[in-house]
């Protein structure tokens, strides 16, 4: 028997332009350019373990697990990957105990897309991943030229990141909504988990002059996650403008996603 999914808790992001990119960090964040983004609705929280569980139970889709290791584990990082991922492996189709309100992780890009297709069918409205431009506009919360969703200075009381590398094994995801939201009412746009966006990565895409609702290139070799995560001690990765390119087969204990809904 079909169980209808719960309508996500959405925030309206008004139509308008914003400055995308950063002038003083990575080369692929330049040039800073003003683009127009149409109105859209984005989930206030990353998709949680409990929300993803409804998808798994309804469809029989494979639950998050440690599968073939992604390319990012090459170079002797496989044992650390397995150790950090182990607490997030599902057992018998159930999320890890006590993690229901945490963001789901160990999800590939294709898994996030499959979830969006299921939710679209269940709700009768288009559900998708945000574009890179939508994600950055939403993360900035109306601020211009600031590094983080709240301002220019990193603040450990505002997001979940690795403040001390020696504590990596003791840290982990936090429940969604643990920290205060940005001005658009969005939680964890910086830290907790990286979030998939829909675009293919291109190092020089910002210079191509697409100034209205950019969708990214039609194809590519690398995907993009945004926002930084609990496992990052390099705070530059938590910036609104930071573009983290990853191989398409990537999944990790630090990667999840949030969704955009059609009206």
Strand (E) positions, 55-186? 127-128
pLDDT tens string 62-85: 999 999 888 888 777 899 999 999
Structure confidence at residue 163 as a pLDDT band (50, 70, 90) = very high
- Do strands 16-20 and 127-128 pair parallel, antiparallel, or not at all (unpaired)? unpaired
| Residue spans of alpha helices (H) in 166-217 | none
Q: Which domains does the chain have, with CATH numbers?
A: 10-261 (3.90.1580.10)
Could you tell me if 55 and 119 are in contact, meaning their C-beta atoms sit under 8 angstroms apart? yes
Least confident of 47-51, 157-161, 169-173, 245-249: 169-173
Continuous H helices in 1-108: 49-59, 78-85
CB atoms within 10 A of CB 109: 22
Cα separation, 36 vs 105, whole angstroms:
31
Confidence of residue 3 (pLDDT cuts 50, 70, 90): low
User: Across residues 6-13, what is the average pLDDT?
Assistant: 92
Q: Can you tell me the distance from the alpha carbon of 156 to that of 190, in angstroms, rounded to the nearest whole number?
A: 11
Q: How confident is the model at residue 237 (pLDDT cuts 50, 70, 90)?
A: very high
């Amino acid at each position: 028997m079909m169980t209808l999914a719960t309508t996500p808790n959405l925030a309206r992001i008004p139509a308008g332009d914003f400055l995308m990119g950063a002038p003083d960090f990575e080369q692929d964040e330049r040039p800073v350019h003003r683009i127009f983004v149409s109105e859209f609705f984005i989930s206030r929280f990353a998709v949680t373990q409990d929300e993803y569980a409804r998808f798994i139970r309804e469809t029989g889709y494979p639950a998050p697990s440690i599968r073939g290791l992604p390319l990012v584990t090459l170079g002797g990082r496989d044992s650390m990957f397995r150790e950090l991922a182990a607490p997030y492996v599902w057992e018998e189709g159930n999320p890890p105990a006590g993690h229901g309100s945490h963001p789901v992780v160990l999800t590939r890009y294709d898994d996030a897309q499959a979830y969006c297709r299921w939710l679209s069918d269940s709700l009768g409205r288009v559900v998708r991943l945000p574009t890179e431009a939508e994600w950055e506009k939403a993360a900035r919360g109306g601020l211009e030229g600031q590094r983080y969703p709240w301002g220019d200075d990193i603040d450990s009381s505002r997001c979940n990141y690795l403040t001390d590398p020696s504590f990596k094994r003791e840290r982990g995801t936090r429940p969604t909504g643990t920290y205060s939201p940005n001005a658009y009412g969005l939680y964890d746009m910086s830290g907790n988990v990286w979030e998939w966006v829909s675009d293919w990565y291109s190092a020089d895409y910002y210079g191509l002059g697409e100034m209205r609702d950019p969708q990214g290139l039609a194809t590519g070799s690398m995907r993009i996650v945004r926002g930084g995560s609990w496992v990052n001690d390099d705070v530059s990765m938590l910036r609104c403008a930071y573009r983290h390119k990853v191989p398409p087969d990537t999944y990790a204990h630090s990667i999840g996603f949030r969704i955009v809904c059609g009206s």
